[in-house]
Structure 1
Amino acid sequence: MPSIMIADRDPNERTGMSWLVSSCAIPYKQVLSAGTMAEVFQLMESQTPEVICLELDMIGKGQWERLKLLVEQYKPTVLVTTAEATFERAMQGIELHARDLWIKPQTPEYIRRVLTRCCQERISRNQINQEVSGSTGLFREVSYLDLFFPRPMHGNAYAMMLAQLEDPKRHPELLRFFEDYPFRDKPILLPLSDGIVGVFPLDDPESVTHLHQTGKRLLMDWEGGGDSPLFLVMYDSRQREQSLHEAYKDASQALSIRFFKGYRQLWIVDDHVEWTTIDPFLTPSEQRLWVDMLHGSDQEELKQWMYKHFSYKEAPFPDPGILRIRLTSILAQVRRYMKSHGLDHGVLEQEYHRVFETILYSPILYRIVACLLLFIQSLMDLVQKQGDEVRADVIEQAIRYMERRYTDAALRLEDVARHVDRSPAYFSTLFTQKQGTSFRQLLTAMRVKEAQRLLMETTLSIGEIAHRTGFVNANYFSKIFKEKLGTTPRLLRNQKKR
């Protein structure tokens, strides 16, 4: 026997109609009561009443679409009541495919007749469904053999659902969710090691539309209570005469669309997936371009190239396996770059192998691209840092050499450049960039500083000090000393004496 839900904001209305059903012996097996739309939604999904008597005035604007979706999904017999005899209320009843519209107040006798008629119609419909199910019971014999071996389905129309979580360890939890879910047409559930297969009967043309809505609801409800992303494939077999085995192969192939679209998606197909053809390896010109981008440390150009060649938003898509090969071809260029800079060891070597495994096994393309770009960026930054350290080390060597030799009046830039094994022109430019001053200016500053110390701490003559600090003669020494300190060597020494 069917069940009925009475939804009205007025508790007296709910009580009165419940009493009418019981006192008149209308054969409903259960009478449910709801005073808010939240209760209506909860009862429709948990109890799935077959007849609903609903007050239109209690439906809020933000609740209308969800109500229509649930009515479409579970297909109850709907009766609507209202205190407003308006065209708008009548149109709402039509949108819900209402069996009848009651304008309050309504006579108990009329309510009794309508409720009795709806109950009898649901009983008759259930009996017909049972007879159909009994006569075509072959559908209920679906098993794992049908998935993995080509066996005929005896003309039954069906649809297939493939569900896969990002975390495969959570599949038992997903199976329990499906087993408890209030499907209108309960599927045959066949759990596998990497997902769950569901086979639905398609009894009427509306079943396909309902199936799409079911998929959307499944995603929404799972996401509402779970934190493991879900990818769903709904496969409609009506367009092709094929066994469940063939449908399973096509649906499994469609599951690979997840590689491009990510999780939290519903993908609806009615045929096998056609992959586009691409070259799995880099062409010679692409290889040269990658060498230039890597050694030129052009991170922005490299990033844009990756986004251009690995951003797929719409079908048709290339075969994911071919794309993985193409990504390993790029990684081979990165490997050569690592070797050329002596980076193929230690932690970087371990990171390289981790990126390689990500390319081979990660289920989502954009994650692979992000992982590869981050690795390349870290390599480029390290190469840049090494270059800076090498250049800084060259200057440090040069300054230490100058500190030992600045007393030599014949010391030239060419001598220091030769000591650090650099060309004079390159060394001069690099020195100025790193020190913010020229070679000659720093050398003079070293000599003047030492001369100032000798003037203050010793009794050496000015000529002797000039000789010891690398100046060619005393006159030139005095001239440079005054330019740098604003006083002559003699005046500085006299100030010390005073």
Structure 2
Amino acid sequence: MYKVLVAGRDESDLNGIRWLLHSAMTSWQVETVNLPGELIGKIETFRPDLLIIELEMIEDEAHYHFIVNVLNIVKPSICAITIEPTFARAKNAIDLGVNDLLLKPISPEILLKSVQRIYRKNHADKKNLPANQIQSERSIGYTHLFLNSDEPIRPLKSFGLKSESVHILPELYQFLKSYQWKRPLFSFVLTEMIVCFAASHDDINWRQEWSRFLRDWQTMSHEPIVIVAQDSNGNEPIKDQYHLLKHRMEISFYIGFNQIIDNRSDRDWRMIDPFLTPEDQQLWVELLAQSDLKGLKKWLYDEFLNLNPPYPDPAIIRIRLTSILAQIRRFMLSNKLENPSFEKNYLQLFQEILYCPVIYRIIEELILFIGQLIENVITRKNPIQLSKKVFHYLEENYANPQLNLTEIGEKFNKNASYISYVISNNYHKTFRGILTDIRIRHAIDLLEESSLSIKEISSQCGFSNQQYFNKVFLKKMNCSPSQFRKKIEL
């Protein structure tokens, strides 16, 4: 039985439409709903083949999205009615994927012709649908992704979606399921990607559909995603299509996210040596020994960021990067760069190489880490330069009452005792003495140039309380802060 749900605010209109449909199409089951709050529940329970809806029933954007979600599940044909001949209403109708849009007032003849035309089209579509295509729409399951099947499930178009962070996949999957597509999609969420299939329709430009989906996702979320779109050649089982999707998805390692990868992409990887040659190893030893960060950066860019298709297998690139990391490890050991901060960064970089989804971010992190190591070696060879950097850091952060040698050591990747030795050797004062001098100097400036209270000045200059500030100031200047300010005023 063909089921029709009529949704509108005017109960007399609903009764008239119900009578019209019962009179003309006696075999149809027709029900009505006139309250916006009951519309979603009625669609879910009645599951109509045709929904005749007054667009003014949609109360707000939130209500609209709930309705779209339900319609994507039930998938009725839709005949929309509106009293407003506006662009906004037309856009609502397009977004809902309506089969027809009628403007009030509507004659019974026009309404009846519209719903009969929709019914005939649906009946013809189902009648003309090939048996193997009907089978494909009913029986695609997770097992087809991993096991060969003798069932004739084709022709199909297959698609893949992947988020840069796997934690976003559930959110992406919900957005995908609630999206308004021109044709049904059969979606399967996996641990690292989402796989979709659609029956082949020549009248659908899936590239445009996915471009629209990507734009809408970007307006809703800042999380980057990549989409793979490919056509089946009619002979490939779903399992093979899935493996090809996975292969093409890995191209995002080189080209990044927020784009669509189509079936023009190469199917085969280019073979390269996964390890550094002896010449490359020697070059790395020399560039690291010379602290030539510019040369190392150029080598990394040329080697990894200027690749053209066909690309190497990303797994081979990751192995090659670990070979480079081994050279960096030798440099760390030979220069005794084994403090906890460097060890932590080294292990994090190793994880990036293994799991980061895009190569340019790995190279960026690699260059930053090498830069830290080289800077540490240079400053250790020139302690005067290190002491100047520490002094500048104190000038920038003196207002922090918690500032101490431990924080300075972590900042410059040095032992706190070594920092203390270097700075006292260069300035002939202890770390605490230098920091106190800087704070008192800034306090004097504020006493002379501002109307701030003594308490406010002590706080802004990094002293934990006013009493301690008064004590230190008195010791340095032979007068209290208030006495110093009075002398200025005289």
Q: TM-score, normalised by structure 1?
A: 0.59
Matched, 1:206 2:197: no
| Letter paired with 2:225 | L
Are the aligned partners of 1:5 and 1:53 in contact in 2 as well (CA < 8 Å)?
Answer: no
Whole-Å separation in 1 of the counterparts to 2:322 and 2:234:
37
Q: Which residue of 2 aligns with 1:32?
A: 54
Are the aligned partners of 2:55 and 2:80 in contact in 1 as well (CA < 8 Å)?
Answer: no
Whole-Å separation in 2 of the counterparts to 1:56 and 1:333:
70
Whole-Å separation in 2 of the counterparts to 1:336 and 1:176:
48
SS in 1 for 2:365: helix
Structure 2 counterpart of 1:164, from 162, 165, 174: 162
Matched, 1:291 2:285: yes
- For residues 327 and 127 of structure 1, do their structure 2 counterparts lie closer, same or farther at Cα, with a shift above 3 Å needed? same
Q: Which residue of 1 aligns with 2:225?
A: 230
Report the Cα offset of residue 359 of structure 1.
Answer: 0.9
Whole-Å separation in 2 of the counterparts to 1:58 and 1:77:
18
Q: Which residue of 2 aligns with 1:309?
A: 303
**CA RMSD of superposed structures (Å):** 4.2
Whole-Å separation in 2 of the counterparts to 1:297 and 1:356:
22
SS in 2 for 1:164: strand
Report the Cα offset of residue 135 of structure 1.
Answer: 4.0
- For residues 190 and 151 of structure 1, do their structure 2 counterparts lie closer, same or farther at Cα, with a shift above 3 Å needed? same
Whole-Å separation in 1 of the counterparts to 2:265 and 2:350:
33
Whole-Å separation in 2 of the counterparts to 1:234 and 1:318:
21
- For residues 260 and 271 of structure 1, do their structure 2 counterparts lie closer, same or farther at Cα, with a shift above 3 Å needed? closer
Q: Which residue of 1 aligns with 2:379?
A: 385
Structure 2 counterpart of 1:336, from 330, 335, 338: 330
| Letter paired with 2:158 | M
Matched, 1:273 2:287: no
| Letter paired with 2:183 | D
Q: Which residue of 1 aligns with 2:257?
A: 263
Whole-Å separation in 2 of the counterparts to 1:197 and 1:322:
25
Report the Cα offset of residue 245 of structure 1.
Answer: 0.8
Q: Which residue of 1 aligns with 2:345?
A: 351
- For residues 75 and 390 of structure 1, do their structure 2 counterparts lie closer, same or farther at Cα, with a shift above 3 Å needed? closer
Ranges in structure 1 where 5+ consecutive residues have no aligned partner: 7-13, 82-105, 394-433, 436-498
Q: Which residue of 1 aligns with 2:78?
A: 50
SS in 2 for 1:218: helix
Rg larger in structure? 1
**Count of equivalent residues:** 352
- For residues 360 and 270 of structure 1, do their structure 2 counterparts lie closer, same or farther at Cα, with a shift above 3 Å needed? same
Whole-Å separation in 1 of the counterparts to 2:307 and 2:259:
13
Report the Cα offset of residue 23 of structure 1.
Answer: 8.6
Are the aligned partners of 2:144 and 2:239 in contact in 1 as well (CA < 8 Å)?
Answer: yes
Structure 1 counterpart of 2:118, from 112, 115, 122: 122
Q: Which residue of 2 aligns with 1:175?
A: 173
Whole-Å separation in 2 of the counterparts to 1:121 and 1:347:
72
| Letter paired with 1:33 | L
| Letter paired with 1:256 | E
Q: Which residue of 2 aligns with 1:322?
A: 316
Are the aligned partners of 1:236 and 1:269 in contact in 2 as well (CA < 8 Å)?
Answer: yes
Report the Cα offset of residue 338 of structure 1.
Answer: 1.8
Q: Which residue of 1 aligns with 2:213?
A: 218
| Letter paired with 1:293 | L
Are the aligned partners of 1:234 and 1:266 in contact in 2 as well (CA < 8 Å)?
Answer: yes
Are the aligned partners of 2:55 and 2:82 in contact in 1 as well (CA < 8 Å)?
Answer: no
Are the aligned partners of 2:229 and 2:263 in contact in 1 as well (CA < 8 Å)?
Answer: yes
For residues 277-296 of structure 1, the C-alpha deviation after alignment (integer angstroms, 9 at most, x for no partner) is 33323334333332332222
Structure 1 counterpart of 2:355, from 337, 352, 361: 361
- For residues 35 and 142 of structure 1, do their structure 2 counterparts lie closer, same or farther at Cα, with a shift above 3 Å needed? closer
Ranges in structure 2 where 5+ consecutive residues have no aligned partner: 22-29, 31-49, 388-425, 428-490
Whole-Å separation in 1 of the counterparts to 2:229 and 2:330:
44
Report the Cα offset of residue 319 of structure 1.
Answer: 1.4
| Letter paired with 2:87 | I
Q: TM-score, normalised by structure 2?
A: 0.60
